[in-house]
Amino acid sequence: MMLEVKKVTMRFGGLVAVDNASLTVSQGSITGLIGPNGAGKTTLFAIIAGFRKPSEGTILLHGKDITGEHAHKRAASGIARTFQIVQPFAGLNVHENITVGAYLRHMKPAEAIEKAREVARKVGLEKDLEKSAASLTVAGRKRLELARALATEPKILLLDEVLAGLNPSEIRDIIPVIRSIRESGVTILMIEHVMQAVMNLCEQVYVLAQGRMIAEGTPGAVCNDPSVIEAYLGKGSADRIARQAGGNAGGDHA
Protein backbone atom coordinates (compact mmCIF):
# COMPACT_ATOMS: atom_id res chain seq x y z
CA MET A 1 0.00 0.00 0.00
CA MET A 2 1.43 3.40 -0.94
CA LEU A 3 -0.37 5.62 1.58
CA GLU A 4 -2.13 4.66 4.81
CA VAL A 5 -3.97 7.09 7.06
CA LYS A 6 -4.73 5.34 10.35
CA LYS A 7 -7.26 6.65 12.88
CA VAL A 8 -6.30 10.29 12.42
CA THR A 9 -7.92 12.91 14.66
CA MET A 10 -7.34 16.67 14.47
CA ARG A 11 -8.58 18.94 17.25
CA PHE A 12 -8.57 22.74 17.27
CA GLY A 13 -9.40 23.50 20.89
CA GLY A 14 -12.88 22.07 21.43
CA LEU A 15 -13.50 21.58 17.70
CA VAL A 16 -12.82 18.13 16.22
CA ALA A 17 -12.13 18.78 12.52
CA VAL A 18 -11.10 15.20 11.70
CA ASP A 19 -12.41 12.37 13.87
CA ASN A 20 -10.69 8.95 13.83
CA ALA A 21 -10.43 8.93 10.02
CA SER A 22 -8.68 6.16 8.09
CA LEU A 23 -8.05 5.57 4.39
CA THR A 24 -5.65 3.72 2.12
CA VAL A 25 -4.37 4.59 -1.35
CA SER A 26 -2.99 1.84 -3.59
CA GLN A 27 0.03 2.56 -5.76
CA GLY A 28 -0.98 3.58 -9.28
CA SER A 29 -4.58 4.37 -8.36
CA ILE A 30 -6.78 7.45 -8.49
CA THR A 31 -8.65 7.59 -5.18
CA GLY A 32 -11.36 10.13 -4.40
CA LEU A 33 -12.14 11.91 -1.13
CA ILE A 34 -15.56 13.53 -1.18
CA GLY A 35 -17.95 15.01 1.34
CA PRO A 36 -20.00 18.12 2.13
CA ASN A 37 -18.34 21.51 2.63
CA GLY A 38 -16.73 21.76 6.06
CA ALA A 39 -16.34 17.98 6.37
CA GLY A 40 -12.60 18.20 7.15
CA LYS A 41 -11.23 17.09 3.77
CA THR A 42 -8.67 19.88 3.31
CA THR A 43 -7.56 19.52 6.95
CA LEU A 44 -6.92 15.83 6.30
CA PHE A 45 -4.88 16.76 3.20
CA ALA A 46 -2.83 19.21 5.27
CA ILE A 47 -2.09 16.41 7.75
CA ILE A 48 -1.06 13.97 4.99
CA ALA A 49 1.20 16.58 3.37
CA GLY A 50 2.80 17.56 6.69
CA PHE A 51 1.40 21.08 7.04
CA ARG A 52 -0.36 20.03 10.26
CA LYS A 53 0.48 17.42 12.86
CA PRO A 54 -2.52 15.33 13.90
CA SER A 55 -3.70 15.23 17.52
CA GLU A 56 -3.84 11.45 17.18
CA GLY A 57 -3.21 8.83 14.51
CA THR A 58 -0.55 7.75 12.07
CA ILE A 59 0.44 8.46 8.44
CA LEU A 60 2.40 5.78 6.61
CA LEU A 61 4.10 6.15 3.21
CA HIS A 62 5.20 2.81 1.74
CA GLY A 63 4.87 1.38 5.25
CA LYS A 64 7.14 4.01 6.84
CA ASP A 65 5.72 6.16 9.64
CA ILE A 66 6.02 9.79 8.49
CA THR A 67 3.63 11.30 11.06
CA GLY A 68 6.37 13.42 12.64
CA GLU A 69 8.02 14.57 9.40
CA HIS A 70 7.79 18.19 8.26
CA ALA A 71 6.23 19.14 4.90
CA HIS A 72 9.59 19.63 3.12
CA LYS A 73 10.70 16.14 4.16
CA ARG A 74 7.47 14.66 2.82
CA ALA A 75 7.91 16.58 -0.43
CA ALA A 76 11.38 15.05 -0.76
CA SER A 77 9.82 11.62 -0.08
CA GLY A 78 7.39 12.15 -2.96
CA ILE A 79 4.23 13.77 -1.56
CA ALA A 80 2.99 16.87 -3.38
CA ARG A 81 -0.28 18.75 -3.05
CA THR A 82 -2.25 21.46 -4.78
CA PHE A 83 -4.24 24.07 -2.90
CA GLN A 84 -7.94 24.80 -3.13
CA ILE A 85 -7.26 28.55 -3.32
CA VAL A 86 -4.76 28.99 -6.15
CA GLN A 87 -2.04 31.53 -5.39
CA PRO A 88 0.72 31.58 -8.01
CA PHE A 89 3.75 33.84 -7.65
CA ALA A 90 2.05 36.76 -9.38
CA GLY A 91 5.31 38.61 -10.12
CA LEU A 92 6.70 35.64 -12.07
CA ASN A 93 5.71 34.24 -15.44
CA VAL A 94 4.28 30.75 -15.92
CA HIS A 95 7.65 29.15 -16.71
CA GLU A 96 9.27 30.67 -13.62
CA ASN A 97 6.41 29.52 -11.39
CA ILE A 98 6.80 25.92 -12.53
CA THR A 99 10.59 26.12 -12.26
CA VAL A 100 10.28 26.91 -8.54
CA GLY A 101 8.82 23.42 -8.02
CA ALA A 102 11.45 21.79 -10.24
CA TYR A 103 14.27 23.05 -8.01
CA LEU A 104 13.33 20.38 -5.43
CA ARG A 105 14.99 17.71 -7.60
CA HIS A 106 17.15 19.80 -9.97
CA MET A 107 19.62 22.20 -8.38
CA LYS A 108 21.15 23.31 -11.69
CA PRO A 109 19.05 26.14 -13.18
CA ALA A 110 19.24 24.79 -16.75
CA GLU A 111 17.91 21.40 -15.62
CA ALA A 112 15.11 22.95 -13.55
CA ILE A 113 14.08 25.19 -16.44
CA GLU A 114 13.97 22.26 -18.85
CA LYS A 115 11.99 20.16 -16.37
CA ALA A 116 9.48 23.00 -16.03
CA ARG A 117 9.08 23.13 -19.80
CA GLU A 118 8.43 19.37 -19.90
CA VAL A 119 5.79 19.63 -17.16
CA ALA A 120 4.12 22.57 -18.94
CA ARG A 121 3.68 20.39 -22.03
CA LYS A 122 2.01 17.68 -19.90
CA VAL A 123 -0.61 20.05 -18.51
CA GLY A 124 -1.21 22.09 -21.67
CA LEU A 125 0.62 25.28 -20.69
CA GLU A 126 3.46 25.13 -23.23
CA LYS A 127 2.05 28.09 -25.19
CA ASP A 128 1.68 30.21 -22.03
CA LEU A 129 5.20 29.89 -20.60
CA GLU A 130 6.06 33.56 -21.05
CA LYS A 131 2.72 34.87 -19.79
CA SER A 132 2.48 36.51 -16.40
CA ALA A 133 0.90 34.07 -13.91
CA ALA A 134 -1.38 36.89 -12.78
CA SER A 135 -2.85 37.19 -16.29
CA LEU A 136 -4.08 33.57 -16.49
CA THR A 137 -7.74 32.60 -16.51
CA VAL A 138 -9.13 30.47 -13.67
CA ALA A 139 -8.60 27.36 -15.81
CA GLY A 140 -5.03 28.45 -16.58
CA ARG A 141 -4.28 29.03 -12.90
CA LYS A 142 -5.63 25.58 -12.04
CA ARG A 143 -3.30 24.04 -14.62
CA LEU A 144 -0.41 26.10 -13.25
CA GLU A 145 -1.14 24.89 -9.72
CA LEU A 146 -1.12 21.33 -11.04
CA ALA A 147 2.15 21.97 -12.92
CA ARG A 148 3.93 23.44 -9.89
CA ALA A 149 3.11 20.32 -7.86
CA LEU A 150 4.07 17.98 -10.72
CA ALA A 151 7.41 19.74 -11.15
CA THR A 152 8.49 18.34 -7.76
CA GLU A 153 8.26 14.87 -9.40
CA PRO A 154 5.90 13.36 -6.80
CA LYS A 155 5.12 9.73 -6.25
CA ILE A 156 1.70 10.64 -4.86
CA LEU A 157 -0.19 13.81 -5.78
CA LEU A 158 -2.90 15.29 -3.55
CA LEU A 159 -5.34 17.31 -5.67
CA ASP A 160 -7.54 19.68 -3.65
CA GLU A 161 -10.54 20.60 -5.82
CA VAL A 162 -8.45 21.15 -8.93
CA LEU A 163 -11.67 21.36 -10.97
CA ALA A 164 -13.47 23.91 -8.77
CA GLY A 165 -14.54 27.03 -10.66
CA LEU A 166 -14.19 25.45 -14.10
CA ASN A 167 -17.02 25.29 -16.64
CA PRO A 168 -18.14 21.92 -18.10
CA SER A 169 -15.96 22.27 -21.19
CA GLU A 170 -12.85 23.09 -19.10
CA ILE A 171 -13.59 20.10 -16.85
CA ARG A 172 -13.82 17.82 -19.89
CA ASP A 173 -10.46 19.16 -21.09
CA ILE A 174 -8.60 18.60 -17.81
CA ILE A 175 -9.90 15.10 -17.00
CA PRO A 176 -7.60 13.49 -19.64
CA VAL A 177 -4.68 15.48 -18.19
CA ILE A 178 -5.29 13.99 -14.74
CA ARG A 179 -5.64 10.53 -16.24
CA SER A 180 -2.35 10.94 -18.14
CA ILE A 181 -0.58 11.95 -14.92
CA ARG A 182 -1.65 8.66 -13.36
CA GLU A 183 -0.56 6.79 -16.49
CA SER A 184 2.89 8.36 -16.13
CA GLY A 185 3.27 6.57 -12.78
CA VAL A 186 1.96 9.13 -10.28
CA THR A 187 -0.59 7.94 -7.73
CA ILE A 188 -3.43 10.42 -7.10
CA LEU A 189 -5.64 11.20 -4.11
CA MET A 190 -8.19 13.86 -5.02
CA ILE A 191 -10.73 15.95 -3.15
CA GLU A 192 -13.50 16.77 -5.58
CA HIS A 193 -17.09 18.02 -5.65
CA VAL A 194 -17.51 17.51 -9.42
CA MET A 195 -19.10 14.07 -9.42
CA GLN A 196 -18.65 13.71 -13.19
CA ALA A 197 -14.89 13.70 -12.58
CA VAL A 198 -15.12 11.36 -9.58
CA MET A 199 -17.18 8.85 -11.57
CA ASN A 200 -14.82 9.07 -14.58
CA LEU A 201 -11.50 8.99 -12.77
CA CYS A 202 -11.66 7.23 -9.42
CA GLU A 203 -11.53 3.51 -8.72
CA GLN A 204 -12.09 3.96 -4.97
CA VAL A 205 -13.89 6.74 -3.12
CA TYR A 206 -13.97 7.70 0.57
CA VAL A 207 -16.66 9.94 2.04
CA LEU A 208 -15.90 12.28 4.93
CA ALA A 209 -18.74 13.98 6.80
CA GLN A 210 -18.36 16.01 10.00
CA GLY A 211 -14.80 14.77 10.26
CA ARG A 212 -15.67 11.06 10.15
CA MET A 213 -15.36 8.54 7.32
CA ILE A 214 -18.91 7.38 6.69
CA ALA A 215 -18.49 5.31 3.51
CA GLU A 216 -15.96 3.86 1.09
CA GLY A 217 -16.20 1.86 -2.12
CA THR A 218 -16.57 2.28 -5.86
CA PRO A 219 -17.99 5.62 -7.05
CA GLY A 220 -21.29 3.96 -8.03
CA ALA A 221 -21.73 2.21 -4.70
CA VAL A 222 -20.85 5.30 -2.68
CA CYS A 223 -23.25 7.57 -4.60
CA ASN A 224 -26.12 5.18 -3.80
CA ASP A 225 -25.19 4.75 -0.13
CA PRO A 226 -28.06 6.06 2.07
CA SER A 227 -25.62 7.50 4.63
CA VAL A 228 -23.88 9.51 1.88
CA ILE A 229 -27.19 10.82 0.53
CA GLU A 230 -28.16 11.88 4.07
CA ALA A 231 -24.81 13.64 4.58
CA TYR A 232 -25.21 15.69 1.40
CA LEU A 233 -28.98 16.28 1.31
CA GLY A 234 -30.07 16.03 4.94
CA LYS A 235 -31.92 13.62 7.19
CA GLY A 236 -34.71 11.67 5.52
CA SER A 237 -33.45 12.35 1.99
CA ALA A 238 -32.48 8.74 1.27
CA ASP A 239 -35.98 7.52 2.17
CA ARG A 240 -37.64 10.22 0.08
CA ILE A 241 -35.49 9.39 -2.96
CA ALA A 242 -36.22 5.67 -2.53
CA ARG A 243 -39.97 6.34 -2.33
CA GLN A 244 -39.85 8.55 -5.42
CA ALA A 245 -37.89 5.90 -7.31
CA GLY A 246 -40.43 3.28 -6.26
CA GLY A 247 -43.30 5.48 -7.34
CA ASN A 248 -41.72 6.18 -10.70
CA ALA A 249 -41.06 2.50 -11.23
CA GLY A 250 -44.66 1.68 -10.41
CA GLY A 251 -45.89 4.33 -12.85
CA ASP A 252 -43.65 3.01 -15.59
CA HIS A 253 -44.87 -0.56 -14.98
CA ALA A 254 -48.51 0.50 -15.15
| pLDDT tens, position by position, 137-176 | 999 999 999 999 999 999 999 999 999 999 999 999 999 9
Q: Are residues 214 and 126 in the same domain?
A: yes
Q: Are residues 215 and 242 in the same domain?
A: no
Q: Are residues 142 and 250 in the same domain?
A: no
> How many domains is the chain built from?
2
Q: Give per-residue burial for 106-142: e unless 16+ CB within 10 Å, then b.
A: beeeeebbebbbebbebbbbeebbeeebeebeebbbb
> Which structural domain, as residue segments, surrounds residue 97?
3-225
Q: Are residues 209 and 239 in the same domain?
A: no
Task: Tell me the CATH number at 138.
Answer: 3.40.50.300
Total-model pTM: 0.91
Q: Are residues 30 and 65 in the same domain?
A: yes
CB atoms within 10 A of CB 13: 5
Type of residue found at 223:
C
Q: Band of the pLDDT at 65, cuts 50, 70, 90?
A: very high
Q: Are residues 150 and 35 in the same domain?
A: yes
Q: Could you tell me the CA-to-CA distances from 56 to 9, 17, 47, 64, 215 in Å, in that order?
A: 5, 12, 11, 17, 21
Q: Band of the pLDDT at 84, cuts 50, 70, 90?
A: confident
Q: Are residues 93 and 127 in the same domain?
A: yes
Q: Are residues 182 and 242 in the same domain?
A: no
Q: Is residue 242 pLDDT above 70, yes or no?
A: no
